[in-house]
Chains A and B, each alone.
Chain A
């Protein structure tokens, strides 16, 4: 097997292992979805019954719910490695560190994509937003946002996984880093939902894509150092 194919096989094995653990784990993914939906509901209560105001706020609230749910998800994907010191074993396998990062990020992407996909109809119903009108633009934004979040989340979960106060440190470090992603994702979602009357959609999507590329490169380069003791 060539180097690149072997690395992809390793990344896929890690992502599959994490997905199985997530699906079978006692802290099932369902609790994260429930938490994110609860965030949407509470924001809805806070904004009041004005349906126009709710619809205007929907893109921002959707992404806040994804961010809060995503923080739990990426933390849990690394929690699997701290049980029984599996991270130490993972680090000792004779494989390229970038393949390990890619595998963990892929697992994060799968989880984020499922989370975002399930939250969309919740937003649509709760905030009276016509999601079908946004069409593929919304799905593209969701995909790029999930990639960026998984890329950053995997890197910072690697930074904090050995910390005692990792539950606090992960959001503290990660939230500032994803500010550009959050801004671009909310703007692109707003434009997609409005039918892009001002032609703002593609510039924000390009920013999202650029953010993803930069973070994937940075994560691939930096994650290996985090695995070392």
Chain B
């Protein structure tokens, strides 16, 4: 039985609250190269923060580690104070992750895909929740169509719908605007607002920094697997070696 690593202050403690996300020198090697080379940061609960940086910066790798899809080679990553390596099953109950790949089943319909997800997420009200979710993401008219015939944007919408079936405290989105038209992008913006109003913490890796920055509390810029700078509210570097901080608006032009 792996030992649980939960850094927790007692209720009403005067101590600093547990961050939604805390990483300490997290590194991930693929072969001989480091996709992530020692990132230490923390994100406060209930914040919407964005990760920016060029391709290969390590944004996706960091999100995948937090989602328990990848194990860090070195370092530690905690979600709500729970170690993602020691107790991934507890982390999975708290995290919803939109990855690059949508992870849908081509030969099932949109409804069947969401019903399957609802069962896996322990939703007893799938019969009501699934049609409502399909309507939320604009796919009510395509509910009984097989996903094989969906466009990339429709698949993205359906994957977003799957996130809505979960009740996460941490939402991780990897390029959520990819393949979406203007309506789809507006849908993402509405969902971001909904999650934030619901008290969830949201981390978004996006090349559409200008779009996200209007909504985001704070941001972090990664480059070459390193955390280069952070800005705004709710996100901060925790490594002594880090770097500058900048106002939240500074990254909008990147």
Contact = CB atoms under 8 A, between A and B. Distances in A.
B71 A228 contact: yes
A89 B102 CA distance: 8
A17 B67 contact: no
A39 interface: no
Interface string B209-225: 00000000000000000
Contacts of A6: 122
B70 A229 contact: yes
Contact of A20 (B97, B102, B108): B108
A93 B103 contact: no
Contacts of B9: none
Given A6-B122, A13-B120, A17-B116, A88 B69 contact: yes
Contacts of A1: 122, 124
Interface residues of B, number: 30
Interface in B64-103: 67-71, 88-89, 92-93, 95, 97, 99, 101-103
A84 B102 contact: yes
B181 interface: no
A93 B108 contact: no
Contacts of B102: 84
Interface string A87-126: 0111111110000000000000000000000000000000
Contact of B103 (A17, A24, A84, A228): A84
A25 interface: yes
A22 to B, nearest CB: 8
Nearest to B126: A13
Nearest to B96: A92
B64 to A, nearest CB: 8
B120 to A, nearest CB: 4
A10 interface: yes
Contacts, number: 72
A50 interface: no
B105 A93 contact: no
Contact of A85 (B88, B103, B117): B103
Contact of B92 (A17, A21, A94): A94
Nearest to B85: A228
Contact of A21 (B67, B103, B105): B105
> 3 tightest A-B contacts by CB?
A89-B103, A85-B101, A94-B92
B146 interface: yes
B97 A92 contact: yes
Contacts of B187: none
Interface of B: 67-71, 88-89, 92-93, 95, 97, 99, 101-108, 112, 116-117, 119-122, 124, 146, 155
Contact of A86 (B68, B104, B122): B104
Contacts of A17: 105, 108, 112, 116
26 contacts: A1-B122, A10-B119, A13-B116, A13-B119, A17-B108, A17-B112, A20-B107, A21-B105, A21-B108, A24-B108, A80-B105, A83-B105, A84-B101, A84-B102, A84-B104, A84-B106, A85-B103, A88-B69, A89-B101, A92-B67, A92-B69, A92-B92, A93-B117, A93-B121, A94-B92, A229-B70
Contacts of A9: 119
Given A21-B106, A85-B101, 20 more contacts: A6-B122, A10-B120, A20-B108, A20-B112, A21-B107, A24-B146, A80-B107, A83-B105, A85-B99, A86-B103, A86-B105, A88-B69, A89-B99, A91-B69, A92-B68, A94-B92, A94-B122, A95-B122, A228-B88, A229-B70
A80 B121 CA distance: 20
Nearest to B71: A229
A94 B116 CA distance: 13
Nearest to B115: A13
A85 B68 CA distance: 15
